[in-house]
Amino acid sequence: MTMRFTNVALIGKYQSPDVAESVLLIARYLRERGLEVWIEQGTASSIGQAEGFPVAAYEEIAAKCDLAVVVGGDGTMLTTARRLAERSVPLVGVNLGRLGFLTDIARKDALLRLGEILDGSFREESRFMLDAEVLRGGQRVFHTLALNDVVVNKGDLGRMIEFDLSIDGEFVYTQRSDGMIISTPTGSTAYALSANGPILHPSVGGIALVPLCPHALTARPVTLPDSCCIEIELLPPHDARVHFDGQARFDARAGDRVRLTRSPLAVRLLHPKSYSYFAMLREKLHWSAAPRHN
């Protein structure tokens, strides 16, 4: 299916000294190609100038734009994905960050690769999200989406927390630990990876449960089908902090239940035709690198 782009939004990393030059360079290039270009409101404020380009809030971008170019790092992409997921706006990432698992186009190649994508030469990929809610006394007190992960942890406490884990209504275990990471395949190369979780290929329909410093040595990461309903209930007297993609946060109380399911919404990522998931892993994780010698 051929995809036609007419209205393109530019979303940049906030408070970044590098972002203004890149955003305006890309904006001018897109305008030269005859496209209507919008700059996201916070990005326009951050760069201090918009050169006459229309400025739009996320809600307007979701309604009007058929492509969003994210200039920054994975954090910027996560924010954008969560804000635009409901309208399935395709996303392209230009990397100004450190790792760039989601923003895969190098800044030096940005115009070339964007030109290819606009000409119809790209790979489209769908990434599923988690629907996350916190229940208190059976009533929902918090709800959001997560593309990477949901993390239940001890917050500022110096001691472990204790919680019950249930899958599809079946009790699995009670765990004492610093917490739990519930990760999508997208998030498997983020925080979950540093906690010895598995790397899940983006096409795998799985959700990884990765314990954080469990008290029992037998508590291991587990990968579940993405059709599961996962529930974590905090046991008294333990409160906890729940993080969603490292961006939203909720302070949960003892007795609260965190419920996670696969969201019906998905994030659409457009990659250059040359994109390879395994080449990206080789580069970012330094696979096959020669040993370092003193």
Please check if 159 is assigned to a binding site.
yes
Rounded CA-CA distance 188/186 in Å is: 6
Rounded CA-CA distance 70/9 in Å is: 8
Task: Please enumerate in sequence order all residues whose Cβ is within 8 A of that of 247, keeping only pairs 6 or more positions apart, or say none.
Answer: 75, 78, 79, 82
| Secondary structure letter of residue 291 according to DSSP | P
Please check if 75 is assigned to a binding site.
yes
Please check if 149 is assigned to a binding site.
yes
Please give the backbone phi and psi of residue 30, each rounded to the nearest 5 degrees, phi first: -65, -40
Please check if 178 is assigned to a binding site.
yes
Residue 78 DSSP SS3: helix
Assess contact for 176 and 164: CB atoms under 8 A. no
Please check if 148 is assigned to a binding site.
yes
Please check if 276 is assigned to a binding site.
no
Residues marked as catalytic: 74
Going from the C-alpha of 181 to that of each of 75, 161, 169, the distances in angstroms are 17, 14, 19
Please check if 235 is assigned to a binding site.
no
Rounded CA-CA distance 214/24 in Å is: 48
Assess contact for 259 and 234: CB atoms under 8 A. no
Please check if 145 is assigned to a binding site.
no
Please check if 97 is assigned to a binding site.
no
Please check if 107 is assigned to a binding site.
no
Please check if 240 is assigned to a binding site.
no
Q: Residue ranges for the binding site?
A: 74-75, 148-149, 159, 176, 178, 189-194, 247
Q: Residue ranges for the binding site for NAD(+)?
A: 74-75, 148-149, 159, 176, 178, 189-194, 247
